[in-house]
Structure formats: structure tokens, C-alpha cells
Amino acid sequence: MGGAKTDIKLIDENGLRFDGRKPDELRPIRIEANVLKRADGSAYLEWGGNKVIAAVYGPRECHPRHMQDPLRAVVQAKYNMASFSVSDRKRPGPDRRSQEISKIISEAFEHVIFTHLFPRTSIDVYMEVLQADAGTRCAALTAASVALADAGIPMRDLVSSCAAGKVQDTIVLDLRKEEDNFGEADMPLGIVPRTGEIVLLQMDGDLTLEEFNKTMSLATEACHKIYELQKDALRRKYGVTDDEDVQESVDAVAESVPDRQEEAEEAFEDEQEES
Ligand code: ADP
């Protein structure tokens, strides 16, 4: 990113991209919910050349135990890239990049999951990238969000994610590998579509303020489109046809939240007094 040079014409004379897409066009996305038998919730996602599987376990006993929080569930996201997911073999196991992505995804989900409903537990979110073609953190976050809903974890909303950036002086949506490698900037974004809150925002490269605003609005608009695909995947699995049904169950959970929060705090205080 930002510096690497290429002879590949990433934007042609008609303003079209390397793969024929318009600057504001997403790669094709396909999402399927509930694909694994043993996980509490799961999803499979194909997004251009990316293939990601997400599995959710929990709320369950928190390991390691010292990570337990007496007031809420901890969200432990683990992003991993298979060694065969990229053109050169990737060295297996955790590295700095996957630890960083796991951390930002855990933080994004902590903002939407009603963690205080499940004190002392852990909600484990595994994301395995089977094939990578740039934008895998957005793909993993998007898939994991569907897997969390599939597991029935109470959340304020799904999280939807997409990147936008700058390639050969053009602001483009959803960069693929060549654009990511030789482009000037890449900005992954994750939002809570119902409220517009930002739960993930990173930037690799440089943008002027004007370019930043344009990149933000492209990515935000795409997140809303992806939100529809996520809900559609859940509807296809669970046969919910009416948005109101989903809304009603979200509202019912939201109403029960303040009481449970107090309950958890009181229990914690009692315990402190006893010890
Ligand atoms: P993201 O996948 O979220 O865009 P990066 O910008 O860090 O994250 O990576 C861009 C792309 O570079 C990845 O999607 C993948 O195709 C490739 N890549 C990342 N890490 C490696 C690696 N260790 N070996 C080969 N390719 C990699």
C-alpha cells in the first residue's frame, strides 16, 4: 500500500477497474447461515475471491479463567488465515496481523452484544479465511456477525463491514488484492446499520479530508447493502419473512436489559461484601 509501483493499469481510460468494476461497485457477495453442525452458530461467506467460515460458541465457561468478567461476557474473536489461503504459503499460526484483526473484531462485537446478560462467560467467535483476496477483515466481521445471530446471541444489531480506498487517484469501493497492493489507501469500516455507529475504522495509506469523506460515504452505503444480504441469509435459513418479527424480538430483549444489568451489579456487590 502507498509506494509499491506497478505497470498494471488499475483504472482504465473509461474509469473502469482492473476487473471491470465501476469505482463504486462491490464484488459479488454470497452468505449462508448455519453451515456447521457442532457450532452454536455459523456462517459461510464468499466475497469476490475471499472465502470465510465463521463459527460461534457460547456463551460458555470462560477460558482462561482469569479472563472472566463478573459483570459481563467477554467476546473472544479469533481470526486465522489458512496457510493455503494466499498465493505463497502463509506460515501457520498466529502472527501480529491476525492478533490485531482478532482484537479489533472482538472490540467491534463488544459494542453490539448484550454482554451483561451473561456474566462470567465467554462468547467465542472463530473466523477462518480459506481463500484471501484483500478485505478479509471486513469479510470475517460480516460473516461472524451472521454466525452470532445464528447462535441466538442477543445483540443490538448486526455489524456490517466493507472497505473503500484510493487507487491511482480514484476513490474506489471494496479493493481487491492488486488494488490493495498497489493502491494509495485502504480504509476498512464496520458499522451498526440501525444506528450508524462506527465500530471499526482503520486506514492504511493517506487521504485528504475531502477524499476521506468520499471514501467514508462509499463504504457506509456499501455496509447498508451488505446488511440486507446478511439479513437475507438469516431469513432464508429461518423463514422469517417480515422485518417486524425480527424487530419485535430485538425490542423484547432490549427491554429486559436494564433489569438484568442491575441484577448482575447487585450480585457482584453482594459477593464483594461476602469475601
Ligand atoms: P485485509 O485482508 O483485511 O485487506 P490486509 O490489508 O492486511 O488485510 O491484507 C490484504 C491482503 O493481503 C489479504 O487479504 C491477503 O490476500 C494478503 N495477505 C495478507 N497477509 C498475507 C501473508 N502473510 N501472505 C500472503 N498474503 C497475505
pLDDT in tens, 5-57: 777 889 999 999 999 999 999 999 999 999 999 999 999 999 999 999 999 99
**Within a domain: residue 250?**
no
Q: What is the pLDDT of residue 239?
A: 83
Residue bearing cell 456499501: 222
**Within a domain: residue 143?**
yes
Helices 96-110 and 136-150, axial angle in degrees (round to 10): 40
**Within a domain: residue 254?**
no
Q: Is 137 in the pocket of ligand 1 (CB under 6 A)?
A: yes
**Within a domain: residue 22?**
no
- What are the pLDDT digits (tens) for 225-274? 999 999 999 999 998 666 676 677 667 766 766 666 677 777 778 877 87
What integer is the mean pLDDT of 95-101? 98
Boundaries of domain holding 97? 29-239
**Cα atoms in the Cβ-side hemisphere of radius 13 Å centred on 126:** 15
What integer is the mean pLDDT of 62-80? 96
pTM, two decimals, is: 0.90
pLDDT of 126 strictly over 90? yes
- What are the pLDDT digits (tens) for 244-254? 766 776 677 66
Q: What is the pLDDT of residue 93?
A: 92
Q: What distance in Å separates the CA atoms of residue 122 and residue 26, rounded to the nearest whole number?
A: 34
Q: Whose CA is nearest to atom 5 of ligand 1?
A: 134
Atom of ligand 1 nearest to the CA of 1: 6
Q: What is the pLDDT of residue 260?
A: 62
Atom of ligand 1 nearest to the CA of 88: 25
Instruction: Show the cell assigned to 228.
Output: 440486507
Q: Is 134 in the pocket of ligand 1 (CB under 6 A)?
A: yes
Span from the CA of 150 to the centroid of ligand 1 (angstroms): 27
Q: Which residues, 6 or more positions from 162, have their beta carbon under 8 angstroms from its beta carbon?
A: 26, 135, 138, 142, 173, 174, 188, 189, 219, 222, 223, 226
Instruction: Show the cell assigned to 53.
Output: 467460515
Residue bearing cell 447461515: 33
Phi, psi (deg, nearest 5) at residue 270: -55, -45
**Within a domain: residue 217?**
yes
**Within a domain: residue 258?**
no
**Within a domain: residue 72?**
yes
The mean of the pLDDT values for the chain is 93
Residue 71 sits in a domain whose CATH number is: 3.30.230.70
Alpha helix stretches (DSSP H) within 88-135: 96-110
pLDDT band at 3 (very low <50, low <70, confident <90, very high): low
Phi, psi (deg, nearest 5) at residue 55: -130, 135
Q: Is 133 in the pocket of ligand 1 (CB under 6 A)?
A: yes
The number of domains in the chain is 1
- What are the pLDDT digits (tens) for 189-227? 999 999 999 999 999 999 999 999 999 999 999 999 999
Q: Are 144 and 54 in contact (CB under 8 A)?
A: yes
Q: What distance in Å separates the CA atoms of residue 56 and residue 128, rounded to the nearest whole number?
A: 12
What integer is the mean pLDDT of 161-186? 97
**Within a domain: residue 212?**
yes
Q: Whose CA is nearest to atom 12 of ligand 1?
A: 134
Q: What is the pLDDT of residue 272?
A: 78
Span from the CA of 134 to the centroid of ligand 1 (angstroms): 6
Q: How does strand 50-61 pair with strand 121-131? A: antiparallel
Q: What distance in Å separates the CA atoms of residue 144 and residue 140, rounded to the nearest whole number?
A: 6
Q: What distance in Å separates the CA atoms of residue 30 and residue 221, rounded to the nearest whole number?
A: 18
178: closest CA among 28, 13, 14, 27?
Answer: 27
pLDDT of 4 strictly over 90? no
